[in-house]
Structure 1
């Protein structure tokens, strides 16, 4: 039955055109943004997961940058400690030389004083951005990442223990020799100096281990951030080849639906011919 009041064909064609236009708008949005999940209404689960992962990735990159400051402080301290090791070794060598009778120990003492002064200067200069890792033993705690266990969020940390090279400087500065010292006194001075050399070596080693640990963590954070970004992309990025094909298909459907609506709107005109 045909009616001039209700055109069912036109309504169906219009409904089809509206759905096609809606799909075309969504597809154009995905093509222009490159995202298939732009908001929670597109896919609530993927949106929630991707935003959490994006937040974690951002925090990892920020933590990586902050670790660079700590690594530079530790690296500077390690360089200072290694320099002190070299100076302490020279100190021990000069004391070993002075063990023999007939050596002018006053001149050797002057050399030792010069080495102690260099150690003091090295310690004072071994700081980065105002932070020194060679004049204290107070532990430094740095954040190395974040963890999520179910709904629980927490930070992971690393503890770095600085070395007190000032104690080594003080101990070496207290060692004095003079002409006429007996063998026991000279041997005791050499033993004391060698102990401080061992302390300097231990300090340089510990700072080297700490620096390596920070570098390893930074490499891990960098790789982890890349993996998270890749995972986010897999969830929310649009497949551009697929979207391009869908866009062309919808454009054709839109043209056909428009023509179908035009034909349906012309149907009532055919009824007029019955009254002629």
Structure 2
């Protein structure tokens, strides 16, 4: 039965065209944004997970920047400790030299005093952005946030701690050495110098271990951040090859649906031939 009031074919064609247009619009959005999940209406579960992971990734990046500053401070302290160690080694050698016969100990003492001044200068310069890890007044434990973890109680920060070193105490002991005293005291001065040398070597080693630990943690955080970003990408990024193929298909379907609607709209005109 044909009707001039209700064109069922046109209604079906129009419904098909609407579906095609909706699909085409959605595909165009994915192509233009590069995202298949851009809001909660696209995929609520993926959107929630991806937003949480993006937040974690951002926090890890910020934490890594903070560790970079601490690492630079530790590296500066290590360099200062190594310099103190080198100068202490020179002082030990000069004290050993002073034990020889015919040595002008006053000249050796001048050398020791100059080396002690150099040591103090190195200590005073062993700071990064005003952060001091080598002087007596700065002694203590340093805590560094190196990550986050999520649990039943919520999100908490993980921390890495290390102790500072006291290069000033080493310098003070070395500055007090004297080779102008009677020869019987030179053995004691040499023993003191060697003890302080060992302490300087220990300080440099300690700072080197801390620096290496921070460097390893930073590398891990960088890899973890890359993994999080990759996980987010796999959930929300659009497959551009697939979307390009889908876009072409929708464009063809749109043309066919439009043509079909046009044909359906012409059907009532055929009824006129019955009245001729």
- Farther off after superposition, 200-209 or 62-71: 62-71
Deviations 1:241-275 (A, max 9, x none): 11111111111111111111111111222222222
Q: Which residue of 2 aligns with 1:50?
A: 50
Q: Does structure 1 residue 22 correspond to structure 2 residue 22? A: yes
Farther-moved stretch of structure 1 (90-99 vs 78-87): 90-99
- For 1:84 and 1:233, the matched residues in 2 are separated by 50
Deviation at 1:96, TM superposition (A): 1.6
- The 5 Å alignment of 1:194-209 reads 194-209=194-209
1:159 & 1:40 partners in 2: Cα distance? Answer: 41
Q: How many angstroms apart in 2 are the aligned matches of 1:38 and 1:151?
A: 29
Q: What CA distance in whole angstroms lies between the structure 2 residues aligned with 1:151 and 1:167?
A: 44
Q: Secondary structure at the match of 2:4?
A: coil
Report the CA distance shift for 1:151/1:246 in structure 2 as closer, same or farther (over 3 A).
farther
Q: TM-score, normalised by structure 2?
A: 0.94
> In structure 2, what is the Cα distance between the partners aligned to 1:100 and 1:37?
82
Aligned counterparts, 1:200-239, within 5 A: 200-239=200-239
Q: Tell me the distance in 2 between the aligned counterparts of 1:112 and 1:241.
A: 74
Partner of 1:148, secondary structure, is strand
**1:145 maps to what in 2?**
147
Structure 1 counterpart of 2:172: 170
CA distance in 2, matches of 1:129, 1:182: 45
Cα offset for 1:102? 4.3
Larger deviation, residues 208-217 vs 152-161: 152-161
Q: What are the equivalent positions in structure 2 for 1:1-276 lying under 5 Å apart?
A: 1-135=1-135, 136-149=138-151, 152-179=154-181, 181-183=182-184, 185-276=185-276
SS at match of 1:223: helix
* Distance in 2 (alpha carbons) for counterparts of 1:75 and 1:30: 47
In terms of mean alpha carbon deviation, does 147-156 or 61-70 score higher?
147-156
Partner SS for 2:145 = strand
Instruction: Give the drift of 1:150.
Output: 5.3
Q: TM-score, normalised by structure 1?
A: 0.94
C-alpha separation in 2, matches of 1:111 and 1:239: 72
SS at the partner of 1:249? helix
Q: Alignment partner of 2:228: what SS?
A: helix
Question: Unaligned regions of 5+ residues in structure 2, if any?
Answer: none
Q: Deviations over 1:66-107 (max 9, x none)?
A: 222111111111111100001111111111222345433222
Tell me, in whole angstroms, the C-alpha distance in 2 between the residues paired with 1:114 and 1:19.
88
- Note closer, same or farther for the CA distance 1:150–1:250 as it changes in structure 2 (3 Å cut): farther
Shift of 1:49: 1.1
In 2, the alpha carbon distance for the partners of 1:239 and 1:38 equals: 14
